[in-house]
Structure 1
């Protein structure tokens, strides 16, 4: 009576709370089971197939232990680690442990040197493989990417980066090439390009060449995220607002290596007038057809993601007919024991040499010639006017 007057529930006893907890746990297990069987049918098929293989291998081991030793159980254990979820994997391991115990009883006790018996080494090998497999399955479950789909997902992400790096079609007389090569022959790069036709009548080409801190796979995930964000900002903001917005986006991510360099090109396709805005990036290089010389187009601005309120000052120029504009990341010109200026001079010299031949395809040829084996991501953008 006192409990009721105090506001307590009459059934709020330890036993009642335990029963309610059991009911909640059972509902979770039931929902998980329903989700599992309604989910990917391939998971269920793989689980049943591997679970049936274990007793078949046990029979084979008992009948012909020389041809099918007890350690053969590592095969379904390894397969399960690659294909199954952790909950299914535990059941498979339990079946494998029961199979080892059955083989030990039917084959007889182990006596030193007797082949075809369940030895302590067999148990250790199967158990160690199972432990490693369970760790891998837990990691895969946390990531949420099945092993058999991981490769296709990475391939899809790589293709998305390629699509985002395409330069839109340009009017007659204008040509653009972009070449990208990740470090170490990997599939992902910390360098990327986003481009879009903006302005009235789509007569303005806006292009951003960015270099994320890190290289290869380490920077690939950040480059994918940033390329999507930069692609959304490009054309949605006035040109002078793009880099400040990109800087604020990086600062909000809170990454340990949360900085990047970028150069933003805004080109009027009618007049050839352009503006380069830089965030700690290498200067642009323009070859003037009239003089046959290269000019540095260096804008001022800090790296993205360093501090808030950064200012970015642009530099203006004009691409006349026959002129070439070249933008690149530091992987193209940076090498041990070599100054950046020397690397840029060599790059411009090789570009001059290619001007004597068909200029189409020059971006890839420049990477092959100047920076083929460097352990850094390399990106090069060429834009020229006939």
Structure 2
């Protein structure tokens, strides 16, 4: 019977713990645990003042800043500061070192509070909630992923931001509209650089991705232009180059909106040439018209789309930058297009500007 009673008591405790987990939100359980940790640190400082430093409260403070939301964190910081005051009151003597340690902890508590208010403004609950921003960033990058292509086609993309972070004002969207043999690719350069342009790039990548798969090639840039005009951003303009490629015949149409011109390589001569397509910058002129440069990609031909960060540098004409890029392309990609986009981005362009490259090759 004793064993049966013990088993029942264990089961009862487990059931009670399970009920607590279901009824208490995760943040409340974190708060209780961290307050308990702060109380433990206070008791240890009081009992062992010579061995336990006053800075022990920094551990629950740091953990709280990571896991608690903006509504709970201010109260938690206040509780910790009260516990720190208690720890200070039980000290036998006050030295300059003690006052310095306490002052630093109060400053750190103030910094944590400021961080909490900023997260509240952003709508991000805590550091774990910042995974939402990571997910949004990954969505930008995933839209640049190339869909499955028929045998004989290869498309490579490469993107580098000015600040070295995954957020950039340049982005690529590539889709294969359902029920068609077309590949639609757009390379966009949003006004601004790095994280400053990241929010606009995020919004535009989703909107343009939907337009790219739903509209005919000739309708895409006019619709994108109308969308940017509706946003009424202070820096609401963007440049873009749009490629529509028939994966059966190799026929293509390239349309540009204030963007550096696309270039094409003829396998027979091995030379790169500039495609003459033009159009106004997106988001500035209503009912803009975009002309197309057309042609066919034969076996061995390639087509290159890029942003101005690849060819623009201070005190240098953009035409000279394009000539330099074509010279590098002839040397780097002679008969071998493996890693073509990454090679070009690594070799060319300004490190102070976002850079994006798309290389389309028909084997």
TM-score range, shorter chain: 0.7 to 0.9
Structure 1 CA distance, aligned partners of 2:84 and 2:148?
65
Match among 176, 187, 193 for residue 215 of structure 1: 193
Query: Per-residue displacement from partner, 1:205-226 (whole Å, max 9, x unpaired)?
Result: 2211111112222222221221
Listed as ranges, the matches of 1:314-325 within 5 Å are: 314-325=292-303
Q: TM-score, normalised by structure 2?
A: 0.85
**Structure 1 residues 203 and 48 mapped into 2: Cα distance closer, same or farther (>3 Å)?**
same
Q: Hey, which bits of structure 1, 4+ residues long, moved more than 6 A?
A: none
The correspondence for 1:326, drawn from 291, 304, 312, is 304
The answer (yes or no) to whether the contact 2:124–2:130 under 8 Å persists in 1 is no
Structure 2 counterpart of 1:227? 205
Cα 1:215–1:243 shift into 2, 3 Å: same
Question: Counterpart of 1:279?
Answer: 257
- TM-score between both structures, scaled by the size of structure 1: 0.80
Cross-structure match for 2:270: 292
Instruction: Name 1:167's counterpart in structure 2.
Output: 146
Separation in 1, partners of 2:278, 2:74: 59
Please tell me whether residue 377 in structure 1 is matched to residue 354 in structure 2.
Answer: yes
Q: Give, in whole Å, the separation in 2 of the partners of 1:356 and 1:302.
A: 34
Give CA-to-partner distance per residue, 1:285-319, whole Å, 9 cap, x none. Answer: 11223333322112121111113222222222222
Report what 1:180 is aligned to: 159
Q: 3-state DSSP class of the match of 1:334?
A: coil
- In 2, are the aligned partners of 1:247 and 1:305 still within 8 Å (CA)? yes
Unaligned runs of 5+ in 1: 1-36
Matched residues in 1 for 2:158 and 2:71: separation? 46
Provide Cα deviations, 1:243-295, integer angstroms capped at 9, x if missing partner: 11111111222322211100111222233222111110011111223333322
Among 59, 73, 79, the alignment partner of 1:89 is 73
1:126 maps to which residue? Answer: 105
Q: Could you tell me how far 1:364 is from its partner in structure 2?
A: 0.9
Between the aligned partners of 2:311 and 2:202, the Cα distance in structure 1 is: 24
How far off its partner does 1:204 sit?
2.0
RMSD of aligned residue pairs (Cα, Å): 2.5
Q: What is the CA–CA distance in structure 2 between the aligned matches of 1:93 and 1:292, rounded to whole Å?
A: 67
Alignment of 1:1-386 (within 5 A): 40-41=25-26, 43-107=27-91, 113=95, 119=99, 121=100, 124-150=103-129, 152-198=131-177, 202-371=180-349, 374-386=351-363
The structure with more radius of gyration: 1
**Displacement after TM superposition at 1:115 (Å):** 7.0
The CA deviation string for residues 314-344 of structure 1, in whole angstroms up to 9 with x for no partner, is 2222223322211111111112232211221
Residue matched to 1:3: none
Q: SS at 2:56's partner residue?
A: helix
Q: In the aligned structure 2, how far is the partner of 1:249 from the partner of 1:147?
A: 33
Q: d(CA) in 1 for partners of 2:266 and 2:60?
A: 67
Distance (whole Å) between structure 1 residues aligned to residue 311 and residue 268 of structure 2: 26
Paired residues of 2:157 and 2:341 also in contact (CA < 8 A): yes
2:11 aligned partner: none
Distance 2:239 2:97 in 1: 64
Superposed CA offset, 1:35-69 (max 9, x none): xx96851x222211221122222222222223323
> Shift of residue 196 of structure 1?
2.1
Shift of 1:150: 4.5
Alpha-carbon distance change, 151 to 358 in structure 1, aligned in 2, over 3 angstroms: farther
Distance, in Å, in 2 between the alignment partners of 1:87 and 1:198 is 45
Tell me the alpha carbon deviations over residues 80-135 of structure 1, each in whole angstroms, 9 at most, x when there is no partner: 23332343233323433432443344335x56x4876xx4x555433332222112
Q: Is the 8 A contact 2:70 2:126 kept in 1?
A: no
Pairwise CA distance, 1:71: 4.2
Secondary structure of the residue aligned to 1:316 is: strand
The runs of 5 or more residues in structure 2 that have no matched partner are 1-21
Q: Structure 1 stretch 123-132 or stretch 177-186: which is displaced more?
A: 123-132
CA contact (8 A) 2:271 2:330 kept: no
